[in-house]
Amino acid sequence: MKISVITAVYNARNTIQDAIDSVGAQQGCAVEHIVVDGMSSDGTEQVVRSNESRISKWIREPDEGCYDAMNKGIRAATGDVVGFLHADDVLADPQALNRIGDQFLSGDWDAVYADLVYVHASDTRRVVRYWKGGDYERRKFQRGWMPPHPTVYVRKTVYEKLGSYLSSFGSAADYECMVRLMVKNNIKVGYVPEILVKMRLGGKSNATLRNRLAANRSDRQAWIENGMKPPLGLRFSKPLSKLPQYWQRPVRQ
């Protein structure tokens, strides 16, 4: 099985090397790393250029934001399954993608996800929050749940059949996509109960109260967009579902 990892980047000079290194360190599986750079101007280009021999494809051109860049990566991918590693995140260890591949091969899965930890921006060894995905149940979406998107890997054929990310949803585009694939179309989803990604704090959707409120409105629209009634109290249940992240801690970090 070949796994395509897409890194969409814009002005991440200080962290992109860590992301490239973590993909390059993966063992036990065939990996294609695609970097999509929206014309960074802070020195990111020089970092990526110095790693060209370690990167399968490098797309550098203007885009309409992160999700537009991610869609470009999906179209360029030649792997059986596709996932994303943001430019300020790292894979948890050299066997992370191998475990994802093993899970796909163990069953007839259309998508697979795992757990992640939020780490301090300047020290990826310092765990701040723990997002445990938990066993998959489609009905959990009704209670505000969604899988940790940075750990989600999807067969490329699923994106080709059901579509990828709608940039019009802004920072909620990942949620809309998961609702469309997993709830509306009921694809088969598997779970790896291990930490796959270390995610630096500072995501766009949570950066300000205004962004979070806007994302909440888009969460409801995601269901309407797909011809379904939004779960009752979604604007409260989705944020509340994240509270355990603040006190849970992984057994193994």
Q: pLDDT for 54-68, tens place per residue?
A: 999 999 999 999 999
User: Looking at residue 140, what is its pLDDT?
Assistant: 93
The pLDDT tens digits of the residues spanning 146-204 come to 999 999 999 999 999 999 999 999 889 999 999 999 999 999 999 999 999 999 987 54
Which one is predicted more confidently, 61 or 213? 61
Question: Which domains are assigned to the chain?
Answer: 2-246 (3.90.550.10)
pLDDT band at 236 (very low <50, low <70, confident <90, very high): low
Instruction: Name the pTM for this structure.
Output: 0.91
Mean pLDDT score, 24-47? 97
User: Looking at residue 252, what is its pLDDT?
Assistant: 55
User: Looking at residue 115, what is its pLDDT?
Assistant: 97
pLDDT band at 215 (very low <50, low <70, confident <90, very high): low
User: Looking at residue 253, what is its pLDDT?
Assistant: 45
**Average pLDDT over all residues of the chain:** 91
User: What secondary structure does DSSP assign to the chain, as a single string?
Assistant: -EEEEEEEESS-TTTHHHHHHHHHT--SSEEEEEEEE----SSHHHHHHTTGGG-SEEEES--SSHHHHHHHHHHH--SSEEEE--TTEEESSTTHHHHHHHHHHHTT-SEEEEEEEEEETTEEEEEEEEE---S--GGGGGGT----GGG-EEEHHHHHHH----GGGGGGHHHHHHIIIIIIS---EEEEEEEEEEEES--GGGSSHHHHHHHHHHHHHHHHHTT-PPPTTHHHHHHHHTGGGGT---S--
Mean pLDDT score, 124-144? 92
Which one is predicted more confidently, 34 or 253? 34
Q: Is the pLDDT of residue 228 over 50?
A: yes
